[in-house]
Amino acid sequence: MSDPTPQKAVPFRQVLESLIDETRLFPPAYLHRFSDLSSADLNSLKDVWEQVPATRRESLLEDLEDLYDADTLVSFDELARFALVDENARVRASALRLLWDYQGTDLIPVFSRLLEKDPDEIVRALAASLLGQYIFLGEVEQISASSLHAIEEQLFQTIESSETKLVRRRALESLGYSSRDEVDPIITNAFESGDPEWMASALFAMGRSNDEKWVPIVMEMLDHHERDVQIEAVRASGTLEIEKARKPLLQMIKAGIDDPELRTTVAWSLSQIGGDQVGAALAKLLKKAENDEEAEIIQNAIDNLEFQEGLDNFELMDFSPARRTDFHVVKGETAVGDDGLDEAASWDLADSEEDDEEAEDES
């Protein structure tokens, strides 16, 4: 990606003129100019916002989403906060996604109000999801107990309400972070409903719970016939760092995974679990990635694996941080062990022979 610094030299007035001008395409090079808006620039944007056609506002926010996903150095918090009150639901939804990493408590009431009153289902569902990170922050005592309790109560009420299934599922997923006794029965009921969508959300919540009591269920669902259920089981196996899951996940890769999302989810979960043969498996997946996006995800998994292995080395030297990061629940010591990695132990040899055959075919 090109260095965004030169774009800062573009006067913001020129950016706004281009945004309003429907006769011309908005220059993508100007997108960086919306990052870290000053108060003066934000006010200038507010002054002309109503002159920007709705479809162009949608496109702008969607393009900023793509940039936000691709560039970790940009921040569109100021614009996104303003866009939360846009009359266009798609703009509001994009604004919420641009605030995915925002952790300021000042927006808790805003997200709460959107969950309760926004007329659009997608916006309400996104608000329910965003409230989940505040439950995590409450569990690690980064926000007040009263704020945590209020969020939990709203999400409990949402699940029991006449809300749409999507919004209620997102509320359940957010409650996965909560240590409240009421959460486990809700997760269990959702899983035992037999509804694949509720089962998938229950598994997602299990992964967030950091509780090993869910391990048998997660393991059982790793080969479930419903795609979404299987994907969430794979995701949960990584989040819970289930060592027993290493072997079936490696076997999935060796057998071949046709579904791209399942393939990348397996890669990321293996990077969280770590252990023998995982590095070789991820390297093979990277070599056979079908496109740049998949290759980037798998490379991120490889980087995560190397990072986790580096942490393990530090732990061996008696450097034991309380948490690996500020924003991820870290599982304590586990009694779950590996059952039979003998089949996986042949990974390197099998891969080497296959690579040799491929080289001969190419020659």
Q: What is the pLDDT of residues 281-293, one digit of tens each?
A: 999 999 999 999 9
Dmax over Cα atoms in the chain, in whole Å?
68
- Tell me the two tokens of residue 311: 């942490």
Average pLDDT on 58-75 reads 95
Mean of pLDDT over the chain? 87
Average pLDDT on 77-91 reads 97
Helices 165-175 and 196-209: crossing angle in degrees, nearest 10, is 20
**pLDDT one-digit tens code per residue, 17-61:** 999 998 999 999 999 999 999 999 999 999 999 999 999 999 999
Which of 107-111, 193-197, 284-288, 354-358 bottoms out in mean pLDDT, i.e. has the lowest? 354-358
Task: Quote the pLDDT of residue 312.
Answer: 66
Reported confidence tier of residue 340, pLDDT bands at 50, 70, 90: very low
The DSSP secondary-structure symbol of 27 reads P
Average pLDDT on 280-307 reads 95
Task: Quote the pLDDT of residue 314.
Answer: 54
Reported confidence tier of residue 100, pLDDT bands at 50, 70, 90: very high
List, in sequence order, the alpha helices (H) in the chain: 12-20, 39-48, 54-70, 77-83, 89-98, 108-117, 121-139, 145-160, 165-175, 183-192, 196-209, 215-220, 227-239, 246-255, 260-273, 278-287, 292-316, 347-362
Average pLDDT on 295-311 reads 92
Reported confidence tier of residue 138, pLDDT bands at 50, 70, 90: very high
- Tell me the two tokens of residue 216: 């048998």
Task: Quote the pLDDT of residue 346.
Answer: 38
- Tell me the two tokens of residue 214: 């869910």
Reported confidence tier of residue 266, pLDDT bands at 50, 70, 90: very high
- Tell me the two tokens of residue 78: 């100021």
Count of other CB atoms within 10 angstroms of residue 278: 26
C-alpha 59/C-alpha 91 separation (Å) is 9
